[in-house]
Structure 1
Amino acid sequence: MDASVEQRTDRLTAGEDLLAGALAGCASRMVVAPLDVIKIRFQVQNEPAIGQVMRSSASTAPRWSPYRSVLQAVVRIAREEGWRAFFKGNVPALAMVAPYASVQFATFYQLRQQVNSWRGDGDASVQRYMGGVETVACGIVSGMAATLCTYPLDLLRTRLAAQGEPRTYHGVVHAVRTIGRQEGVRGFYQGLSPTLVEIVPYVALQLLIYEKLRHAYHTREQRRRRRRGGEQAVAPDTLQPVESLIIGAVTGTVSKLLTLPLDNAKKRMQVQGLLQQPRRYRNTWDCCVQVYRTERMPGLFRGTVPSLLKAAPASGIAFLVYERLKAYLLRRKAPRAAASAAPDAGMRVRLGP
């Protein structure tokens, strides 16, 4: 097989990256939707708008802390709102996560290929691993692009998941109309600044840690095979399902823990418009300062347990599904490319730029 064919069949097109990323994001979202609702409730329960809703539904609840543990939160939500409450905000979340994940994955891996072409590392065996600075830069750009494309849906997801009973919004359409009428277009971008501030370290850490762990895994596997006398090394983009799940889970847990204060600030700013409460926070810094003054460090890390319980499976499943779909698409492409490059084809197929 011609070398140019090998290069083409060892990478996905932009469209295939978009498809794999979208399906991976949706699969991950469906599994962790209940954990996301619990996480958001913990993060914003000290906000006046949320507290007012909770007090109206249960006068005996603590003033600002209706949820004290994950188990207690699960029992209370199920008792007061029913099992459907664990999927509040899931419609806008799914509408968000498909384009978000597809844009993030596709942008990152297309940028990675472009960087390697600039460096002259066109060989498929070389292009898989970039330096730390390059990985971080590609991660930041991909994360910001995905955030800007989908932010209004993220805000809708947060507000729908945060509200208890009685509801402020009676569905996605009602939420869009209410926010547009009461807050205008700017209302759909409440909390955008802390989101962009958070996404830079979060996505950079997530992709950097994942790439480094994956590289370390392949290096170990190649050394093990050489010791056994095997000639064939592990393909650079091949991860077994268990390895994909574990590496993805570790990646998500570490990244979320290191950026949790910024995620808390984002969620608090996103729910400021509930019940037409006046804005408490002017910007990300003001939010973090006020939270620290009134709640100290626990306030900045509120919801750590449900956040990590969600981050581990969410990241693990997303990377697992993405890796499996990518491997499947590459396997389908290889026979077609080989047939096109066969000697009896009568022509030489030019692939790549």
Structure 2
Amino acid sequence: MSALPERKEQDLFYVWIVASVSGFNSEIVTYPLDLVKTRLQVQGETAKSGKEALGEGPQRGFVQTTVGVVREEGFFKLWKGMSAAWLRQFLYSGVRIVSYKYIKNKLIAVNPPEKGSQFPIWKSAMCGATAGGFAQWIASPADLVKVQLMMEGKRQMMGLPPRVNGIMDAFIKTWNSGGVRALWKAQLTVSCCSG
């Protein structure tokens, strides 16, 4: 198997795609844990939807919540909202890696390093923190929509009508409810549970 051309390893688009695909693969494995974690966080919320509260009901632990989702909603509902998680990975992983490389190579390391020298750890940490923060800000709307989609199974189980029907519907309804600022709303659990 021949090695990739040297220039491809430095191509930011190529790096973005590789980072995103890696994120997609890890998301498939970890997403059920994320869904259960979100359900546990919302379990005690008092946000109301009409006369029903999505936080009402039996208080369950991790195992009971996982088993409950499988029994009450179906095994594949552990991956409900995966499209938004993949969008978040595409934005977060790609932007984070590309931003890090750009900040490191274009803004911080203005002068080429001497042969054999290493990039200082404090500069690397500064690049990483900046790139990670920027990437999370960019990916935040996808996180919001992901939580909304994760909670749809619980709403349906309670006999409530669906709040959103897919990723595009969730983005449109969020935008219509408060414009661009609503996409960066900090109160995710209140937002996903309100009618």
TM-score range, shorter chain: 0.7 to 0.9
> How many residue pairs are counted as aligned between the two chains?
181
Letter in 2 for 1:181: N
Instruction: Provide the alpha-carbon RMSD of the alignment.
Output: 2.7
Q: CA deviation at 1:119?
A: 5.1
8 Å Cα contact 1:25/1:97 also seen in 2: yes
Which residue number corresponds to residue 213 of structure 1? none
Which residue number corresponds to residue 19 of structure 2? 21
CA distance in 1, matches of 2:128, 2:89: 17
CA distance in 2, matches of 1:140, 1:85: 34
CA distance in 1, matches of 2:109, 2:163: 51
Which residue number corresponds to residue 285 of structure 1? none
CA spacing shift, 1:31–1:274, aligned 2, 3 Å: closer
Letter in 2 for 1:44: V
CA distance in 2, matches of 1:32, 1:176: 23
Which residue number corresponds to residue 12 of structure 1? 10
Is 1:160 aligned to 2:153, yes or no?
no
Q: Spell out, residue by residue over 1:111-146, the C-alpha distance to the aligned partner (whole angstroms, 9 max, x if none).
A: 3334674354154x544xx33321221012211221
CA spacing shift, 1:169–1:87, aligned 2, 3 Å: same
Matches within 5 A, 1:48-63: 48-49=46-47, 52-53=53-54, 55=56, 61-62=57-58
Q: Which runs of 5+ in 1 are unaligned?
A: 1-7, 56-60, 192-268, 278-353
**TM-score (normalizing by structure 1):** 0.46
Q: Which runs of 5+ in 2 are unaligned?
A: 1-5, 157-161
Structure having greater relative contact order (Cα 8 Å, sep ≥ 6): 1
Is 1:75 aligned to 2:94, yes or no?
no
**TM-score (normalizing by structure 2):** 0.78
Which residue number corresponds to residue 164 of structure 2? 169
**Structure 2 residue corresponding to 1:40, chosen from 38, 41, 44:** 38
Q: Spell out, residue by residue over 1:70-102, the C-alpha distance to the aligned partner (whole angstroms, 9 max, x if none).
A: 211111111111123211221111112112101
CA distance in 2, matches of 1:97, 1:158: 14
Matches within 5 A, 1:219-298: 269-276=187-194
8 Å Cα contact 2:151/2:193 also seen in 1: no
Which residue number corresponds to residue 140 of structure 1? 129
Question: What is the DSSP-based 3-state SS (H/G/I as helix, E as strand, rest coil) of the residue aligned with 1:165?
Answer: helix
Question: What is the DSSP-based 3-state SS (H/G/I as helix, E as strand, rest coil) of the residue aligned with 1:272?
Answer: helix
8 Å Cα contact 1:81/1:165 also seen in 2: no
Which residue number corresponds to residue 159 of structure 2? none
CA spacing shift, 1:36–1:122, aligned 2, 3 Å: farther
Structure with the greater alpha carbon radius of gyration:
1
8 Å Cα contact 2:44/2:55 also seen in 1: no
8 Å Cα contact 2:92/2:136 also seen in 1: yes
Question: What is the DSSP-based 3-state SS (H/G/I as helix, E as strand, rest coil) of the residue aligned with 1:46?
Answer: coil
CA distance in 2, matches of 1:168, 1:53: 13
CA distance in 1, matches of 2:104, 2:14: 15
Question: What is the DSSP-based 3-state SS (H/G/I as helix, E as strand, rest coil) of the residue aligned with 2:183?
Answer: helix
CA distance in 2, matches of 1:112, 1:101: 16
Which residue number corresponds to residue 179 of structure 1? 174
CA distance in 2, matches of 1:16, 1:126: 26
Letter in 1 for 2:142: L
Question: What is the DSSP-based 3-state SS (H/G/I as helix, E as strand, rest coil) of the residue aligned with 1:138?
Answer: helix
Q: CA deviation at 1:44?
A: 2.5
CA spacing shift, 1:158–1:134, aligned 2, 3 Å: same
